[in-house]
Structure 1
Amino acid sequence: MTSSNTGAGDSGTAVLNARPKITEVETHGIDTIPHPDRTSTWVDLLRIQFGGANTFATVLLGTFPIVLGLSFWQAVLATVAGVLVGTVFLMPMGLFGPRTGTNNAVSSGAFFGVRGRVVGSFLSLLTAIAFYSISVWVSGDALVGALNRLAGIEDSVGLRTLVYGVIGVIVIVVVVFGFQFMLLVNKTAVIANTALILLAFVAFSGTFDAGYNPGPDALALGGFWPTFVASATHRDGEPDLLRRVPRRLVALHTRNRRRRASSSSPPSSARPSPSSRSCSASPPPRSSRARPTTSSPSSRPPRSGTQCS
């Protein structure tokens, strides 16, 4: 597959390589992804981001404000506030990917140095381990519960170990095969998870209570604001996938937006032509630049670079 995108200020074209096959193992790690290999589109990016938000791990994160003692509406407010504040900080970081072609941990080395970026890399590692564990745990519990209720299989340590192991291997396989395989999984998994979450509203409609409020004694940190802030700050985001979007596509989007903004200006036909203006930027002919014989102002030639009629 080839694609031609003209970047802002670039008169040439960028030819992209063919997309890797789904069965090919991911070859790009923390290294810079070359421009011809950045074959993703904005639709791919939105599909991955939406799929990452529609998981059982996200459902578990949504229960944290309730567990910490907030009421339902306080938990909703903490979640929305945390997402909005986190977006403000993460939006500028999303520019690193298209500019550098690598992830944020490596890009931060330009600011903090090779040693200084170790802190951010270590935090990213802890986040990856935490979300991997949460995904395996929550998904495994959901599958064990379904087997128990639908198939009558008794819950046991052996069953949980087997289910956790299978899900863990599946996650590792998806990660090893990489981005293209993730896109394939998201075509089915995201739709299925979205349907399950929507069906949950129907399943729990009889027991759900929007007026739930355990009172101030239930606040885990002893006060409302410490608990509220803790509930709002456990959000996380990862804008590194933008490095797979062609940089010229970002520049083309910016240039098209500027063109649409400039289309509202008066058309060129409404502007006076250079020939109708009283003065132009062209220098006068050489013959008219003869030195005057008198010093009177009226006989001086016009200044170089202007010619008035």
Structure 2
Amino acid sequence: MDGFRIPLGDWVAAGVDWITANLDGLLDVVSFVVSFLVDGLTRLLLTPHFAVIIVIAALLAWVVRSWKLAIGTAVSFLLIVAMDLWVPAMQTLALVLVAAIVAVLIAVPLGIWSARNATVRAALKPVLDFMQTMPAFVYLIPAIVFFGIGVVPGLVATVIFALPPGVRLTELGIRGVDSETVEAGHAFGATPGQILRGIQLPLAMPTIMAGVNQVIMLALSMAVIAGMAGADGLGKMVVEAISTINIPKGVEAGLGVVLIAVFLDRVTAALGAPGENRSSLWGLWKRRRSGAGSGAARAAAATSTAATPASSDAVEPELTRA
């Protein structure tokens, strides 16, 4: 075996060079769109006073989860402000949200397609295994070659790394829908699209939202790696702290990532089962609505019961005269 070697890396490098030389226009478009989305969302988060963003985040936590999470969110975000990390935290949040949205827009259709087609499922499985097990740092090498230093290669590497769980859990949710329910839809003449929208997606939504939650968590875990590619935010601060052995800066930036992760995790987990958290505003509204509906039903039943004897009394004289 001496002297025998498969130059797989050289082949991949040749492919990267070909893409750089022949798809330069497409890469420029991708770079422009990604930069526009991330920079626009960052400006949107930083333009209002930080108190406005904190109130909105706390209200969102209360609507979907509980007032306790709302208080915890407000305290966490105020701690970020107190550590003077508000700007990098919002830059990281913008990067994570855009990467998660892009990953979900790709993952959910792929998961649905995989669940409905065995050939696609067999083809996607090894690709997803490769994407999920390849060290995340490796993705930065071609991304930096394609897009240069900045937020774009960090986001591209983040999307690739965070994509697999979204595909897998979407497929699992669709395939886990009761087959008898699907057959009932077919029996009533529903089309495959109607069955997907009306039966499979609603029943699979908790599992799909669990996949979305995992996508967001993996995207946030890539914040430091994106910082190595030059993306602004808490990840870049962690990289700077490592290079300068700055313990206080590293601890504060890492804590900022943790606080954002906890907020996103609790909110997205609650979205998988909306209205089931009794202390959430959404759950309170659903209980009041169902209570009002049951009250109206009881009133209608009582009215019907009261009207029945009256009608009987009215008919009885007629029978007597007859």
TM-score of the pair, normalised by structure 1: 0.25
- By percentage of residues, which structure has more helix? 2
TM-score of the pair, normalised by structure 2: 0.25
* RCO comparison, higher one (Cα < 8 Å, 6+): 1
